[in-house]
A and B are shown apart, each in its own frame.
Chain A
């Protein structure tokens, strides 16, 4: 069995990539994808721990996997709404540069 630490390390790497992506990319689409990466990094960590707990026979074993499903559902909803907004902005401004959106604030 692959040790849990590996999974966690992979998850940390993916998460860092995602975080850096959010911080450095200006395109809203890229930021969006980076956020997805971060979410999935978290999912990976969750299933990894869930597996470890279930191997140890703990009765919280499945909560991690349940959490993953919730995150997946939320991510899907978020994509639906978020992409909708993005498309609307893109139509209006013909660009998806998030910095340009700063002027939208009050």
Chain B
């Protein structure tokens, strides 16, 4: 019962969104934020209650109402509160609450204060629907809902064309993924006649492992997940999405929405575990994305874009986790990443706030002494994401690496190679994160005296969330300690949901230890090297490489040319096609019709000659016609 009440959480945040949205500017500044924050806070309390309740039971179903019915196909909406969905609820509402509070300070003075919080609450609503859904269709409702909210929030400052374009791009790329989702659902119905997630999972278990239909469904879901989670080949939207307000980037484009793809695969674990092909595709997409995004992050200069590419890269890790069948490990990384990546973004927001909208790291440096709290919390997050032992990121990343190494599910698709790629990625992660940290907080101050005078630590309403997130970035990892030494509470917690047919080898203890020490070495190697490059040599080696590699650097800097490629291959041809068909629709199709219209016109002119308007001519015509008829009848012999 206590669990089922949590199903009201989306309703509460929806009410929050409607209140703040409809009252709009009538609400004085802090009130919209306070209403929105308390809505999310209430939802968080409900999630906590559900969490406590779920220690007693595995899952609770909350039926809503019947939605579709046609022929033999019926679909009722419903929420399922199980350990996976409640975990996601905790992340969404917990991190969401902190970010709402932070926004109170960050958005201070914005003319559209209420609108911002309305969108934010709406987003939380959609995200909760996404994770609570018991059918793919309802998941899709949340799935598109978060896409819409993301569109609204990226384009929050729509006055600038760039922001509006970024929002547009995010929406359209997400729609490509949505088509994948739709097709996956259609195929599910075709194959199993249902969209209920649990039923699809059961039906998939009944099929032979590796059936084509499962692989097809899996690949469509992969397309959907890649769109939402910014994976290859649909990763292009996320860096641009940084145009939105920074807390939005923290909540939507780091902690919650972008992990929806990972959630989707984990939720469909029963299906994916039956299709090694699709699982391997998921894992390899993740691995490639992890590497490519990390390489791009090396040369970025925008404080938020570095973090954006880092997010894409970390999402790649999560994809590998769920791809190799370690659904709990993928979700574990979602869990820890939510804290330290949200923290990084909020810290970046704090910096941007202090620097008066300056976002270029080349104009920063030495901020540690001006922003002490921001600095310390950011440092914790950097160490956590780099995989320094005993911080959250270490445990979750290591879990993914070990699972990739041991996976039986994708054993035939280069699981060891996956491991090596990820290990390389770990070095890169540590390197670019240290670079980010050093360029922002350490070294020489590269800004003018004016900015320096105005530098100030952010208000407490902003630093408090930073501190809480920093604490969580340390502690979150201890829920999922390595299995071979301790009890892994995280895995046990999720076991009722994520236990599937995917299995893992259990190598000797020594191998486990070697794997772990390799991770540690990767982390310290990356950090140490970056320290050498940026702290000791002041970035000079990096410039040297950039010159040696020349074109390649430029290529990597432009995110490996995906944007240009898509522009050349898809966007521009599509635009030309649209313009051409628009013209041809007028000229050819309409022209053809028009010429037939003209021939009608000619005919009408011929016939209108007879319509002379002279009444007596008509009479003559009638008379002669009648006479003619009589003659015909007489000649033909009449009716006899």
Nearest A-chain residue to B615, judged by Cβ: A98
Contact residues in A for B612 (Cβ distance below 8 Å): 102, 105
What range describes how many residues of B lie at the interface? under 10
CB 8 Å contact bits of A52-96 with B (1 = contact, 0 = none)? 000000000000000000000000000000000000000000000
Roughly how many angstroms separate A23 CA and B613 CA in the complex, as a whole number?
Answer: 14
Whether B26 is near chain A, meaning CB under 8 Å from some CB there, is: no
Selected from B611, B616, B620, B623, the residue in CB contact (under 8 A) with A98 is B616
Interface residues of A in 1-38 (CB under 8 A from B): 19, 22-24, 26, 31
Q: Is B611 within 8 A of A99, CB to CB?
A: no
Residues of A within 8 Å of B615, CB to CB, are 31, 98-99, 101
Chain A residues with CB under 8 A of B607 = none
Considering the complex, give the chain B residue whose CB is closest to the CB of A25.
Answer: B616
Q: Please give, as numbers and ranges, the residues of chain B lying within 8 Å of A101 by CB-CB distance.
A: 613, 615
Name the one of A22, A26, A102, A103 contacting B619, with C-beta atoms under 8 angstroms.
A22
Q: Do B623 and A99 touch (CB < 8 A)? A: no
Chain A, residue nearest B614 (CB): A102
In the assembled complex, which residues on chain A have CB atoms less than 8 Å from the CB atom of B619? 19, 22-23
- In the complex, the answer to whether B614 meets A99 with C-beta atoms within 8 Å is yes
The residue from B613, B614, B623 contacting A19, defined by CB atoms under 8 A apart: B623
Neighbouring B residues of A22 by C-beta, 8 Å: 616, 619
Dominant SS among interface residues on chain A:
helix
Selected from A23, A103, A105, the residue in CB contact (under 8 A) with B616 is A23
Cβ–Cβ contact A103 & B620, under 8 A: no
Beta-carbon contact of B613 and A104 below 8 Å: yes
Question: In the complex, how many angstroms separate the beta carbon of B185 from the nearest chain A beta carbon?
Answer: 59
Query: How far apart are B614's CB and chain A's nearest CB, in angstroms?
Result: 5
Residues of A within 8 A of B613 (CB): 101-105
Q: Are A105 and B611 in contact (CB under 8 A)?
A: yes
| A24 surroundings in chain B (CB, below 8 A) | 616
Please give, as numbers and ranges, the residues of chain B lying within 8 Å of A19 by CB-CB distance: 619, 623
Q: Least Cβ distance of A101 to chain B in Å?
A: 7
Q: Which residues of chain A have C-beta atoms less than 8 A from B623's C-beta?
A: 19, 23
Interface string of B241-264 (1 = CB under 8 A from A): 000000000000000000000000
A23 adjacent to B620 (CB under 8 Å):
yes
- A22 CA to B626 CA in the complex, in Å? 15
A19 to B625, CA, bound (A): 13
Interface residues of B (CB under 8 A from A): 611-616, 619-620, 623
Give residues in A with beta carbon < 8 Å to B: 19, 22-24, 26, 31, 98-99, 101-105
A-B contact pairs, 15 of them (CB 8 A): A23-B616, A23-B620, A24-B616, A31-B615, A98-B614, A98-B615, A98-B616, A99-B614, A101-B613, A102-B612, A102-B613, A102-B614, A103-B613, A105-B611, A105-B612
